[in-house]
Amino acid sequence: MSGRPRDAVIVGAGPAGSTLALLLARAGLDVLLVDRAIFPRPKPCGDCLSAEAARLLQRLGLLPAVEALRPARLVGWRVYGPRGTCFSAAFRDLGDPDPLVHHALAVPRRELDAALLAEAAAAGASVLTGWTATDLLRDGAWTRGVRLRTPAGTEAAALARITVGAAGHRSRLARRHGAGRRPARIRKVSLTSHIPRPSGGDWYGEMHVGDGLCAGLAPVTAAGDCWNLTLVADADRFGHDARAARPFFLEALHRLPRLAELAPEPGELLASGPFDTPVRQVAFHGAVLLGDAAGYFDPFTGQGMYHALAAAAALAGVLEPALRDRSAALPGPRELQPYATAHAALTRGHRRVQRLIHQVLNRPALAELAIAGLARRPAAAAALLGVTGDLLRPATLLSPRLAVSLLFPNPAMRPG
Ligand SMILES: Cc1cc2nc3c(=O)[nH]c(=O)nc-3n(C[C@H](O)[C@H](O)[C@H](O)COP(=O)(O)OP(=O)(O)OC[C@H]3O[C@@H](n4cnc5c(N)ncnc54)[C@H](O)[C@@H]3O)c2cc1C
C-alpha cells in the first residue's frame, strides 16, 4: 500500500471528500479516497440541501446524479414557535430568475453520499471503504500520508503529497493536527428518523422551535412517501443512556405543538453530537481540513452540505495546479492560503448568523417574539430564507435595524 506517494489521500467520503476526489481525479491526479464505512451507510442529517446547492451541483456536473435519486423539491420553509406562532417563506418569492433555485432538494444521505462516492470512483479516484485512518504519517512538521486499519484489522499506510482530512465534525485527524480551538460551548445532541408522510404534510420543510429543543420535518423523496424528522436538543436534558433515546424523542415531540398533533411513529433513530467544533486553522504542512472537519457549529440552518461542496470546489481549484507539477514543493500553509481565505469567506458570515439564531432560539420568549415579527414582515422572512438557503449574503440579515424592527414591530416601542 505505501509505495510511491499518491498526489492526494482524502480521509472521509462524505459530500466534502467525495466531491474533492471527483474534481482532482477529473484533473488527472492520482487520488485515494478512504472511508471507514461501507456504502451505502446511514448518516444523521436533516437530508435537505440548501437551495443554492442545486446551482453548485450543476456547475460541478453532479446534478444529474442527484436528480436520478428522485429527491423531494421543497418550495420553502415554515417555522413554528414554542406556542405555535408560525411564519413561512418560499424560495420563488426571492425573485431569482433561475428556476433551479426556486426549490431546495432533499434526499436521504444514505443514497446521496453513495451516489457522490460512485461519481468520484467513475472519475478515476481509487476508493477504499471499510478502511479506517488511525493516525497521520509525520516527518517533522510535514504530514506525509495516513496510517490505516484494513477491514481485516491489519495495519497499512498511504503516502501522499497532500493529506486531506474530510472525516466529519468529530475528526480524529483534525485533533491530531492540534487544530481544535476549544471544547464545545453548546452541548446539543440530535436524533434523526425517517417516517411515512405525516397527515397535512406538503412540500414545505418545517422547523419547530421549543424550550431547549427544535425539530426539522421534511419530505425526502419525489413521491413524498418518506420524511426526515430530526430533533436537536440540549445534551443535558438527554443524558447518556442510548436506551433512553426513543422515550426522550417521543416525549420531546409532544412538547412541540404541531408535532404533538402529528404524533409521528419514528423508525430507527440515528444519534449525533455534540456539535460546535471550531478549528484554529485549516491548512498545515502537507495537510488540509475540509467540510465539517474544518469547523462546525450547529445543524439548525442546514447548510453543512452546501458548504462542504463549495469548500471542496475551492480546495480543488488550489490543489490542482499545485499537484500537477510533480517537481514542485509540497503544498504547505503558504500554498494553501488561498483555500484558507476562501474557506473563511464562505463560512464566517454564516457562523455569525448561526450564532445569532442560536441566541434567539435559546430563549423561548424571544424566539416566539422573533417568529411573530417574521410572520408580520414577509420581506424579512424571505431574507432569512435566502441567507440560510445560501442564496443571499449573510450581511443581509446582520443589520441591527432589521433585528430591532423584528423584535419591536411597533416603532413607538423601539429603544433609543
Ligand atoms: C442532526 C444534523 C442535521 C443536519 N442537517 C443538515 C441538513 O439538512 N442539510 C445540510 O446541508 N447539512 C445538515 N447537517 C450537516 C451535514 O450533515 C454536514 O455538514 C455534512 O455531512 C458535512 O459533510 P462532510 O463530508 O464534511 O462530513 P461527513 O458527511 O460527516 O462525512 C465524513 C465521513 O468520514 C468518515 N470517517 C470518519 N472518521 C474516519 C476515519 N478515521 N477514517 C476513515 N473515514 C472516516 C465517515 O464514515 C463519513 O463517511 C446536519 C448535521 C446534523 C448532525
Per-residue model confidence (pLDDT) at position 402: 66
Cell readout for 18 is: 467525495
* Closest ligand 1 atom to Cα of 273: 53
Q: Using CA atoms, how far apart are residues 384 and 339, in angstroms rounded to an integer?
A: 27
Bridge partner residues of 132 (DSSP): 149
**Distance from the CA of 14 to the center of ligand 1, in angstroms?**
6
Identify the residue whose C-alpha is closest to ligand 1 atom 19.
Answer: 304
Q: Please report, in tens digits, the pLDDT of each residue of the chain (416 residues total).
A: 667 899 999 999 999 999 999 999 999 999 999 999 999 999 999 999 999 999 999 999 999 999 999 999 999 999 999 988 999 999 999 999 999 999 999 999 999 999 999 999 999 999 999 999 999 999 999 999 999 999 999 999 999 999 999 999 877 777 777 767 677 677 788 999 999 998 888 999 999 999 889 999 999 999 999 999 999 988 776 666 667 788 888 888 888 988 888 777 788 899 888 777 778 899 999 999 999 999 877 777 778 999 999 999 999 999 999 999 888 888 999 999 999 999 999 988 888 888 888 888 889 899 999 999 999 999 899 988 988 888 988 888 766 666 666 555 555 555 55
Quick one: which atom of ligand 1 is closest to the CA of 296?
A: 19
Report the pLDDT value the prediction gives residue 405, as an integer from 0 to 100: 62
Lining ligand 1 with CB less than 6 A are 11-17, 34-37, 43-49, 132-133, 166-168, 172, 190, 192, 230, 232, 272, 291-293, 299, 302-306, 308
Residue 258 confidence (pLDDT): 84
Fold of 6-75+109-183+276-348: FAD/NAD(P)-binding domain (3.50.50)
* Distance from Cα 45 to the centre of ligand 1, integer Å: 8
Separation CA 64–CA 57 (nearest Å): 9
Whole-number Å distance, alpha carbon 291 to ligand 1 midpoint, is 8
pLDDT (tens digit, 9 = 90+) per residue, 239-262? 666 677 888 888 888 889 888 887
Ligand 1 atom 17 nearest Cα? 45
CA-nearest residue for atom 13, ligand 1, is 302
pLDDT, one tens digit per residue, over 303-315 is 899 999 999 999 9
Question: Count of residues for the chain?
Answer: 416
* Mutational test site, ligand 1, from 131, 292, 391, max ligand atoms within 8 Å of CB: 292
CB 103 within 8 A of CB 232: no
Tell me the C-alpha distance between 270 and 230, whole Å.
9
H or E element that contains 159? strand 155-165
Distance between CA 256 and CA 272 in Å, rounded? 21
What's the confidence (pLDDT) of residue 361?
A: 85
| DSSP letters spanning 118-145 | HHHHHTT-EEEES-EEEEEEEETTEEEE
Q: For residue 53, which atom of ligand 1 is closest to its CA?
A: 11
Q: For ligand 1, atom 41, name the residue with the nearest CA.
A: 133
DSSP class per residue in 309-365:
HHHHHHHHHHHHHHHHSTTSPPP-HHHHHHHHHHHHHHHHHHHHHHHHHHHHHTSHH
Q: What is the pTM of this model?
A: 0.94
Which residues make Cβ contacts (< 8 Å) with residue 195, sequence separation at least 6? 226, 227, 229, 264, 265, 266, 267
At residue 352, the pLDDT reads 84
Q: Which residue lies with its CA nearest to atom 18 of ligand 1?
A: 304
Distance 269 CA to ligand 1 centre (A): 16
Q: For residue 411, what pLDDT is reported?
A: 57
What are the domain boundaries of the chain?
6-75+109-183+276-348
Residue 358 has a pLDDT of 84
What is the Å distance from ligand 1's center to 332 Cα? 26
